[in-house]
């Protein structure tokens, strides 16, 4: 696991929140795992009050929860809740795709291409942290292009609520490769002014993480689990 340094700069809280958020998405911090302030402070060379504030922020984001007399833990997402949030995501993200001007401004396409090149590099080098950051940046640029910052913000918050559901696919090579392919298909649809394909891609692009998480939850309820190193099939 690669650590992210957190110092006493004005951005230290945001840096720590971002690092812990990534570790939850990538499955390096597991559901029900306790978030111990002392251990996090030592690991990131951060002061205790910064760690405490970061955990509170993770709670606000829906990624952590505090249990009386036990402390804070990585939140376990209920499969029904995940399904409901993804319903909202599909509506919001396809709405944004319907509003993006075709073709989009040249700077939007340039930003998407530059960011996807970084994502390609991360996939090729098997760097899940870089892949996560590039993926987030790609979608931020894409949805901002809809011209409605309130819609873009709702999309960001909705996706954040189910970050924990992505831990099964965010580090898996086949799903990273699928994301790479679909990102380039999105860019191609923007350039060719193919609205129907663009909307369809936006709808299908987010489904693997939902489906794999729900299928894995079903297996756990039956006392089963995917074989080591594998992801439940969908």
**Strand, helix or coil at 15?**
helix
Which helix (H) or strand (E) covers residue 228, if one does? none
Per-residue pLDDT reduced to its tens digit, 15-49:
999 999 999 988 899 889 999 999 999 999 999 99
In the chain, where does DSSP find H-type helix? 12-25, 37-44, 48-61, 79-99, 106-124, 128-144, 149-161, 173-192, 195-205, 207-221
CATH class of 79-221: mainly alpha
pLDDT for residue 7 is more than 60: no
Residue 31: exposure state from Cβ atoms within 10 A (0-12, 13-18, ≥19): middle
Cα–Cα distance for residue pair 196/218, rounded to 1 Å: 33
Measure the N-to-C terminal CA separation of the chain; round to a whole number of Å.
28
Whole-model pTM?
0.84
CATH code 1.10.10.10 for 12-74? yes
pLDDT for residue 233 is more than 50: no
**Domain assignments of the chain as residue spans, ordered by start:** 12-74, 79-221
pLDDT for residue 229 is more than 70: no
Confidence of residue 170 (pLDDT cuts 50, 70, 90): confident
Please report the pLDDT score of residue 180 as a whole number.
96
Please report the pLDDT score of residue 217 as a whole number.
84
Q: Which carries the bigger pLDDT value, residue 5 or residue 141?
A: 141
Say if CB 146 and CB 93 are below 8 A apart: no
Confidence of residue 125 (pLDDT cuts 50, 70, 90): very high
Percent of the chain having pLDDT more than 90?
73
Closest CA to 137 of 11, 22, 35, 17: 22
Average pLDDT over residues 106-121: 98
Cα–Cα distance for residue pair 103/189, rounded to 1 Å: 9
Please report the pLDDT score of residue 4 as a whole number.
52
Per-residue pLDDT reduced to its tens digit, 218-228:
887 776 555 54
pLDDT for residue 149 is more than 60: yes
Average pLDDT over residues 192-212: 95
Percent of the chain having pLDDT more than 70?
90
What does pLDDT average to over the chain?
89
Please report the pLDDT score of residue 137 as a whole number.
97
Please report the pLDDT score of residue 9 as a whole number.
53
């Amino acid at each position: 696991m690669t650590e992210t340094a957190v110092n006493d700069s004005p951005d230290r809280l945001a840096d720590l929140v971002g690092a812990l958020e990534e570790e939850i998405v990538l499955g390096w911090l597991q559901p029900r795992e306790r978030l111990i302030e002392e251990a996090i402070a030592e690991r990131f060379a951060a002061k205790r009050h910064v760690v405490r504030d970061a955990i509170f922020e993770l709670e606000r984001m829906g990624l952590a929860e505090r249990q009386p007399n036990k402390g804070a833990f990585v939140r376990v997402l209920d499969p029904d809740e995940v399904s409901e949030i993804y319903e909202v995501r599909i509506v919001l993200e396809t709405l944004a795709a319907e509003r993006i001007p075709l073709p989009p401004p040249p700077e939007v396409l340039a930003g998407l291409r530059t960011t996807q090149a970084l994502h390609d590099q991360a996939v090729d080098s098997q760097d899940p942290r870089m892949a996560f950051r590039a993926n987030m940046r790609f979608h931020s640029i894409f949805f901002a292009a809809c011209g409605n910052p309130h819609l873009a913000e709702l999309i960001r918050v909705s996706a954040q609520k189910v970050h924990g559901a992505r831990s099964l696919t965010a580090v898996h090579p086949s799903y990273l490769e699928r994301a790479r392919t679909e990102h380039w298909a999105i860019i191609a649809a923007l350039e060719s002014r193919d609205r129907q394909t663009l909307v369809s891609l936006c709808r299908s692009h987010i489904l693997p993480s939902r489906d794999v998480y729900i299928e894995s939850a079903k297996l756990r309820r039956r006392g089963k689990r995917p074989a080591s190193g594998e992801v439940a099939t969908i």
